[in-house]
Amino acid sequence: MKSQGIPIKAVWLQDWVGTYHFPEGVRLLWNWSLNRNHYPKWDEMVDGWEKDGVRPMVYMNPYFANLTGNAQIAENLFKDADSKGFFLKTDTEHDNSTSYLIQSLSIKFAMVDFSNPNAAKWAKDVIKNNMIKTARSVGWMADFAEYTPMDVKYSGFKGSPLTYHNRYPFEWAKANKEAIAEAHKEDEVVYFMRAGSTMSPGQTSLFWMGDQLPTFDRYDGLHSALIGLLNGGMSGFALGHSDIGGYTSLNDTANLMYVRRDEQILIRWMEMSAFSDAIFRTHPSNNPALNA
């Protein structure tokens, strides 16, 4: 792209934390800290990019996996937050002190309890120290936040968990916005989200349309991404974009219609994004080796 004179603002590396091969494809290690085993020359790489005015963008979500024993992990954030009681808790008669663990396919994780001011501060410190300072990131995908269970216990909210479910992505967005402000990077850093509530536009700098299939259809493919952008714009979510080429790719062995991203869908998606999106961003997908 550089040799063709195409302007580049950032290189998005969601695998800055390292990766693991799960049955459903390549997934990230949900420990939001620079993995120097995976990127041993990160600083040298970023130094080179900055000479061309290019910065890294990374990835984070409010979920933390227990990766105790994983040789790639230098800083076990799950263990730190769990020991301090910063995760949402189980809500049972005899045990309301245990972190609530949720399964996302092959990943088991806990969620930050944003109703606890100390937990929110801890999450903001992770953003400021690990993502802005250490990774020198100019932005990130602030993913997820829509998984909040209905039988969970909040430390600082006494109402029904049902009523907090749509508030959770708002609080997750708020934590990102406040962390950037506290780091004095408001004019430099942008984060993008898919989950939200009616009040999210006031806390979120950019949205994206979620994980489409690498197809043309209007149900969950290219067409649906355009519909999402239009509906979002009419609903106050003015700045949005989609994963160029789609995201969710299935192995050939699944024997299903939607399998992989070919060159045609990638090129057509690039054309759509060039004329419809607030940001032009590609995605390696959950199965990078299968896809154009």
Tens-level pLDDT at each residue, the chain (292 residues): 889 998 899 999 999 999 988 776 788 999 999 999 999 999 999 999 999 999 999 999 999 999 989 989 999 999 999 999 999 999 765 556 799 999 988 889 999 999 999 999 999 999 999 999 999 999 999 999 999 999 999 999 999 999 999 999 999 999 999 999 999 999 999 999 999 999 999 999 999 999 999 999 999 999 999 999 999 999 999 999 999 999 998 776 556 555 789 999 999 999 999 999 999 999 999 888 889 9
* Selected catalytic residue, list 24, 146, 178, 182: 146
d(CA 78, CA 126): 12
Q: Which of 75, 178, 182, 211 is catalytic?
A: 211
Q: Give φ, ψ of 244 to 5 degrees.
A: -65, 120
Rg (CA), the chain: 19
The model's pTM is 0.94
Angle, vertex CA 123, rays to CA 248 and CA 159, nearest 5: 90
Known catalytic membership, residue 44: no
Instruction: Identify which of 145, 207, 132 has the alpha carbon closest to the alpha carbon of residue 172.
Output: 145
Instruction: For residue 211, indicate whether it is catalytic.
Output: yes
Q: Does domain 10-208 have CATH number 3.20.20.80?
A: yes
Residue 196 CA to residue 236 CA, distance in Å, equals: 12
Task: State the catalytic residue, choosing from 15, 82, 113, 143.
Answer: 143
User: What order of strands is seen across the sheet that includes strand 107-111?
Assistant: 63-65, 107-111, 102-104
117 CB contacts (<8 Å, ≥6 apart)?
A: 156
Distances (CA, A) of 48 to 51, 196, 280: 6, 36, 22
Task: Report domain extents, the chain.
Answer: 10-208
